[in-house]
Amino acid sequence: MRRSLTRHIQTYMLLLMAITSGLSQSGEQLLAQDSTPPVASEKTEASTVSFQSQGNHLQLMQLLQSIDPYLPSGDIEGKAVLSGSTTMVLLGQTWAQRFKLFHPKVEFARGIDGSDAALESLAKDPNVIAGISRNVTEDEIAALKAANCKDPVVIVVALDAMAVYVNAENPLRSLTPEQLQGVFGADAKGQPKIATWGQLGVQGDLANAKIRIHHRSEISGTRNFIQQSLLGGQPLSEPAETHKSNHDICQSIAKDPAGISLCGFGDRVDNTRTVALEIRGQVVDATDTNFLAGQYPMVRPLSLVFDRAQLSQDGGLRASIIKYILSRDGQREAILTGFFPLNPDFIRQELVQLTGTQTH
């Protein structure tokens, strides 16, 4: 299901100010970073005001001009197996369909689901391209090298913002980083550190109610991201319910007054709402502007992992797929599918991993 296009059209200009260099920050850094937004130039500020006031497709296309177009090189053919993150399934299918318009002889096949499972699949079969919706660790890279993927490379292809969701009837307005970690983290005995809504200051009928956590399934990169980036690798509290998608989570929270989750920023449904974060004494709402300015700090990279050694053996297939995804057309599809694209400078850095030389 596609998320709101209007939301992304109205705030895309701010994306060019977003900082993508901190993708591997720890959970403490993510939650305790300085909430002061980056300083924009007069030109950027003026463009932002103009863009937000008009908010039309023409403006969006003008801004996408700053990202290089995809220029097909040669007649590409072959078969690509895409495995991994369920969060990225629709985006991957969209990219595959669009890529085939340029290269109709290319076939795409869907492999195993789940970020962890995709990395295991890549370790066995270097022909796999793994979609990962979390950070890839050094240990995982080492494990790939020790198996059949001799030269693994991680290419960030889009960004996914996340937010804390509760039922619309829940009076909770904000959470500190410590409270958030207490809700989602378990103690040495496996029990939640914060178990009831009253422990978060909620009064009334909900005060004595047990906090019901809604998570993605264990194969999901979303769950791993929460554990590694928010909890620093500490155990997760046991969920009340698990779900196949972020949208399913929000639909369940809409029916669960005691429910809470950390999931996709654009997945809100009726009868749910996001919760602000209280960072260094400042309450920061979950809004597009605050995310793009780096103030609401829940962001994860969406990446593709593959064996760079295959680049010299696949007739340009992998390199062309990555170049397409990081092109103007590919990043536009990321917007339409509900994610945030990368800024042009970061895209050029990622392309260096393919070509070995700086592109312009």
First-to-last CA distance in the chain? Answer: 35
Q: Mean pLDDT throughout 169-176?
A: 95
Residues with Cβ within 8 Å of 53's Cβ and at least 6 positions away in sequence, in order, are none
Comparison of pLDDT for 21 and 203, the residue scoring more: 203
pLDDT digits (tens, 9 = 90+) for 113-131: 989 999 999 999 999 999 9
pLDDT at 273: 94
Contacts of 345 (CB under 8 A, 6+ apart): none
Cα radius of gyration (the chain):
21
Q: Is the pLDDT of residue 27 over 60?
A: no
Lowest mean pLDDT across 30-44, 117-131, 261-275, 323-337: 30-44
CA distance 59 to 229: 35
Pairwise CA distance, residues 100 & 98, whole Å: 5
**Residue written as tokens 């499972």?**
117
Domain 78-159+301-355 belongs to what topology?
Answer: D-Maltodextrin-Binding Protein; domain 2 (3.40.190)
Burial class (CB in 10 A: 0-12, 13-18, 19+), 11: buried
Q: In this model, does residue 247 exceed pLDDT 70?
A: yes
Query: pLDDT band at residue 233, thresholds of 50, 70 and 90?
Result: confident
pTM of the model: 0.76
Residue 86 has pLDDT above 80, yes or no: yes
Among 68, 12, 18, residue whose Cα is nearest residue 330: 68
3-state secondary structure of 239: coil
**pLDDT score recorded for residue 61:** 62
HSE (side-chain half, CA atoms, 13 Å) at 224: 18
Spatial distance between the Cα atoms of 257 and 248, rounded to a whole number of angstroms: 16
Question: Residue 333: is its pLDDT beyond 90?
Answer: yes
The C-alpha angle with vertex 254 and arms to 253 and 256, in degrees rounded to 5, equals 55
Among residues 279, 274, 275, the alpha carbon closest in space to that of 293 is found at: 279
* Residue 106 reports pLDDT greater than 50: yes
Q: What is the pLDDT of residue 24?
A: 34
Sequence-separated (6 or more) residues with CB below 8 Å from residue 38:
17, 19, 293, 294
pLDDT digits (tens, 9 = 90+) for 133-153: 988 999 999 999 999 999 999
Q: Which residues of 196-231 are buried (b: 16+ CB within 10 A; e: fewer)?
A: ebeebebeeebeebebbbbbbeebbbbbbbbbbbbb
Q: Report d(CA 278, CA 275) in Å as an integer.
A: 10
